[in-house]
Structure 1
Amino acid sequence: MSPVSPVSTQALARLRAYLPPASIYTSLPLTRRAAVLVLLFSDRRGDLRVVLTVRSVHLRTFAGQVALPGGKADFLSETAAQTARREAWEEIGLPLDSQGGLPKPFDVEHLCELPCSLARTGLAVRPCVAYLDGGKGDVEDSLIPRLQETEVASLFTVKLEPFLKRAYPIPGGAAEETWYRGGKTMWVHRPWTIHEFNAPVWEGSTLKRHRIWGMTARILVDVARVAYGRDPEFPFDQELGFEEAMREMEKKGEMKEIVKKKPDPELEPDKVAAQVEKGNL
């Protein structure tokens, strides 16, 4: 059985107790809605880890980048949590109740939702935080992901708490100096702090590093802030998510329905495919 350390127990309690402010999410058109699943579990040391994916290099957007399982909403009636769980089922094979659920004693507990972040594609992305409880089982050894190869190249996990630290604590400290770096950028006419982490992941006897940056990095910093109840060791923005800026955008008419062009019936099939690949259709 994987233990849950006192620190992790307190972190889970804070996430359960977190009440986000009213969100812009449900006022947005369907084409602007997306959600990601921040799936946590306890490792053999009792520390919380988060599940991350490496996107396929063949995808039209964010190819080859590290991301949380997630995607666009299918229906206006679909909640952010339902979207996140459905996408996790499709991408990494995390069973839904409608698919028979997880094998006993495993269970997924929905902990909370955080304010939306804004993707470069203009989508409002709602982070949904959940805990994968192994009961008497070992999550790391017992659950084998089923990856959707057209979207997900690989999957890995990393500790959650170091998303508040400048160094990632691993035996020998081999990756500590390369863990974090940050800076400033202008995003939607406002200055924002950007974070970049290089996650140390053992693949067999080889230590590799996966670059976690952009919106995914910001979401993980926000989740860690709520979970552990303290500020990061590096500069950060006080606001969780990006909703204040999105409300300003909504007032200016910048969060309307995303309408894609219909293909010209005279266009040759190979040219239609090229326009779809570019995201124009």
Structure 2
Amino acid sequence: MSGSVEADTPQQAVDTQPVNQDDIQTVAQTIRDLTSTEVQVVHPGGENGGDDFGITCYWDASSMAPLNARSAAAVARLRAYKPPPAPLWGRLHLSRRAAVLLLLFADRRGDLRVVVTMRAASLRSFSGHAALPGGKADTIEETPFQIARREAWEEIGLPMEDAKLPSPFRIEHLCDLPMNLARTELIVRPCVAFLHANEPSVPTGAPRSPSTKTPTVEESMIPRLDAKEVAAVFSAPFSNFLKATDEELPAEEARRRPLPPGKWYEGNWLQFNGQPWRAHYFYVPVNDQRVMKPKRQLSAAEEEVADELGEKERYQVWGMTARILVDAARIAYGQDPEFEHNSHYGDEGMIEDAEKQGRLGPKKKTSEAPKV
């Protein structure tokens, strides 16, 4: 990767974007909008009670609270973020283009969580590994966000168009992040989006549409997984990708859903394309959340992965996926992580070097591609 890193490596200035008055106004207005308490929070147990401490599922609007102030500010920072110009994307061959979706949503405390998948055993590369929904471009005309939305539809059944999302859901594209270089030499553009679970605010005095009941889980966006690509879908606490330890829970919540044994984070420095690259390994607790898995009959290899996932109380998130999540959290919360990390976002310097070396031409067919 081009440039230097923190800790024992040469220093490089952290990527910064100048803040102007328009950005400040955008952040302030977004905080006012997103912390509105018009939305009624209804817990899955209904009026007679239930577990108020279970982890929110992104397809269940009834378990989502309005964003708290910290989360609203994070969404506003992402909305205001502008990545550096990337003319290289326009020069890339179709076979080199890919995008992933960071889909954020609010939990019952108003904190942000992010949707993550586990790759199926049948995939040729990185089978059984954690990943963000996403994949390769189909056409040269597709934007990164269109690629990410289409792939999320194919992998987990997330509707491609907001018009097809059940009320009250809508997806807002917040920003794109700097490009990343996969080990397979695909160029991956991360796209960050927020899943709203409330109706758009109505100006004072404006007529309101007839109220509708909050959809139940069954009426909502329960994932429909492509078993050929996805072994499971789960979520992780977004802000904790800046932390070296598990998220701190309120006392009663910690008592009701204790964390499983094991650590949250470890990391080490590697060499990637001759550059220092910090590898992050996160171990996301899944013992108290609904992990969705394909229902169809599985092959022997897929059954083995499913059995292994079923036994685990923590799923490992690492590699490029972890790096993207750390970068996104740094931008969202305006702070550096508690652990060592590359100071720059993405791998764009490294990608430019690869282009100069003639390595980003048409990609060979999978059957001909070298193993990585």
Find the partner of 2:320 among 203, 206, 215.
Answer: 215
**Aligned twin of 1:40:** 104
Q: Distance in 1 between matches of 2:89 and 2:314?
A: 34
- Write the distance in 1 (CA, Å) between the matches of 2:289 and 2:362: 46
Q: Which residue of 1 aligns with 2:275?
A: 190
What displacement does 1:139 show?
Answer: 9.5
Task: Please name the residue that 1:264 is paired with.
Answer: none
SS in 1 for 2:344: coil
Q: Is the 8 A contact 1:73 1:83 kept in 2?
A: yes
Tell me: CA distance 1:66–1:132, structure 2 relative to 1, closer, same or farther (3 Å).
same
Match of 2:236 in 1: 158
Which residue of 202, 216, 229 maps to 2:287?
202
- Give yes or no for contact 1:43–1:140 (8 Å, CA) kept in 2: no
Show structure 1 runs of 5+ residues with no match: 261-274
Which residue in 2 is equivalent to 1:19? Answer: 82
Secondary structure, aligned partner of 1:253: coil
Q: Is structure 2 residue 192 aligned with structure 1 residue 87?
A: no
CA distance in 1, matches of 2:342, 2:165: 37
Residue 50 of structure 2 aligns with which residue? none
Note the alpha carbon deviations across 1:185-210, whole angstroms, 9 max, x for none. 01011111110000001257987100
Distance in 2 between the 1:229 and 1:36 partners? 22
Contact 2:101 2:193 in 1 (8 A): yes
1:202 alignment partner, SS class: coil
Is the contact made by 1:168 and 1:179 (CA closer than 8 Å) also made in structure 2? Answer: yes
CA RMSD of aligned residues (A): 2.2
Q: Is the 8 A contact 2:167 2:215 kept in 1?
A: no
Q: In structure 2, do the counterparts of structure 1 residues 138 and 215 end up closer, same or farther at CA, with 3 Å as the change threshold?
A: farther
Aligned amino acid, residue 342 of structure 2 = D
Compared with structure 1, are the counterparts of its residues 204 and 29 closer, same or farther at alpha carbon in structure 2 (3 Å cutoff)? closer
Question: Is 1:258–2:363 an aligned residue pair?
Answer: yes
Distance 2:237 2:227 in 1: 25
SS of corresponding position for 2:313: strand
Aligned residue for 1:272? Answer: none
TM-score, scaled to structure 2: 0.67
Structure 2 unaligned regions, length at least 5: 1-40, 42-64, 200-213, 291-310
**Range that drifts further, 200-209 or 188-197:** 200-209
Q: Is the 8 A contact 1:199 1:211 kept in 2?
A: yes
Q: Deviations over 1:171-196 (max 9, x none)?
A: 26635861000100010111111100
Alpha-carbon distance in structure 2 between the residues aligned to 1:183 and 1:140: 40
Preserved CA contact (<8 Å) 2:281 2:322:
yes
Q: Which moved more, 1:159-168 or 1:17-26?
A: 17-26
Q: Report the secondary structure of 2:164's partner residue.
A: coil
Cα distance in 2 for partners of 1:52, 1:204 equals 13
Larger Rg: 2
Asked if 1:174 corresponds to 2:259, the answer is yes
Matches within 5 A, 1:44-193: 44-97=108-161, 100-135=163-198, 137=214, 142-169=220-247, 170=249, 171=254, 174-175=259-260, 178-193=263-278
Query: How many percent identity over aligned positions?
Result: 49
Task: From 81, 92, 101, give the equivalent of 1:28.
Answer: 92
Partner of 1:270: none
CA offset digits 1:116-175 (Å, max 9, x no partner):
111111100000000011116589884311111111111000110000000112526635
The 8 Å contact of residues 195 and 218 in structure 1, kept in 2 or not, is answered as: yes
Q: Distance in 1 between matches of 2:89 and 2:168?
A: 34
Q: 2:340 aligns with which of 222, 235, 256?
A: 235
Provide, for residues 220-249 of structure 1, a one-character-per-residue CA deviation record: whole Å limited to 9, x for no partner. Answer: 000000000000000001110001111011
The answer on whether the counterparts of 1:60 and 1:279 sit within 8 Å (CA) in structure 2 is no
Query: So what's the TM-score if we normalise by structure 1?
Result: 0.88
d(CA) in 1 for partners of 2:66, 2:173 = 20
Instruction: Tell me whether 37-46 or 167-176 shows the greater mean CA deviation.
Output: 167-176
Moved more, 229-238 or 129-138: 129-138
CA distance in 1, matches of 2:223, 2:264: 26
Partners of 2:106 and 2:197 lie apart in 1 by 8
